[in-house]
Amino acid sequence: MSSAASHSLHVAVELTGFGHHPAAEGAPGNLPMIGNDYWVDLTEGEALLDLTAFPANVIRIRAKDLRDAQVQRAGIRAALAADGRDPDTVAVLVDLEVLIAPEARSARKELAQLDSALTVSRVPVSLQYVGTPSGLGSLIADIRAADVADGVTLLPLALPRTLEHLVGETIPWLQERGLVTASTAVDEVLGRFGLPPRQRTLAS
């Protein structure tokens, strides 16, 4: 029986410096990550995703829109099948730039302030979401439900607030709907900013 990695919804995060926005360093309230750049899957699934695994069990893609990501995923799965591999053993994760806040207006304002510090306009490297933690959760759920991708690698534009909202609200929002199970890596990523582990509550 295959591990069927693509049957699980995966939410990974890539952390770097003060965040992925080029103006994040020095922005009010931003803190740098402790240690080197870091990629980790925040959710548990049939398989442990590892970017260094051979043969690969996770492939990251960047896309200009949801349709582009869907086409790329279909092409990757077809190529895996042609090579004699079970496509369900490889998770295709699309990169998603994120900036979230309790109110969408606040998130948009923060991004506008970051962008205003640049001398040239910034073009997102892949898909982008700016809004609320629950809105992000809904988008991630839709991405998986529509077979756009098997999950996402989130690229927080500013840190650590977006990360705190992600692990404190977005992941629980997905977990409450039975879509993901948070991994112990959630506490590990918080520790990289000197933040305490999240309090866990038992499902009723």
pLDDT for residue 7 = 62
203 falls within a domain: no
pLDDT for residue 1 = 32
pLDDT for residue 45 = 82
Percentage of the chain beyond pLDDT 90 is: 75
143 falls within a domain: yes
pLDDT tens digits, the chain, 204 residues: what are they? 333 444 689 999 999 999 999 999 988 889 899 889 999 999 998 778 888 888 899 999 999 999 999 999 999 999 999 999 999 999 999 999 999 999 999 999 999 999 999 999 999 999 999 999 999 999 999 999 999 999 999 999 999 999 999 999 999 999 999 999 999 899 889 888 888 887 654 443
200 falls within a domain: no
54 falls within a domain: yes
118 falls within a domain: yes
What's the number of domains the chain is made of?
1
Cβ neighbours of 33 (radius 10 Å): 20
202 falls within a domain: no
pLDDT for residue 200 = 57
Could you give the maximum distance between any two Cα atoms of the chain, in Å? Answer: 54
CA distance 51 to 91: 11
Looking at the DSSP bridge assignments, the partners of residue 181 are none
Give the rounded distance of the alpha carbon of 139 from its chain centre.
Answer: 11
CATH number of the domain that residue 149 is part of: 3.20.20.30
CA distance 138 to 11: 13
Cβ neighbours of 59 (radius 10 Å): 18
Domain that holds residue 118: 5-191
199 falls within a domain: no
pLDDT for residue 194 = 85
Burial (CB count within 10 angstroms: exposed 0-12, middle 13-18, buried 19+), residue 164: middle
Q: State how beta strands 151-156 and 91-100 pair.
A: parallel
196 falls within a domain: no
- Write down the pTM of the prediction: 0.91
pLDDT digits (tens, 9 = 90+) for 183-199: 989 988 988 888 888 76
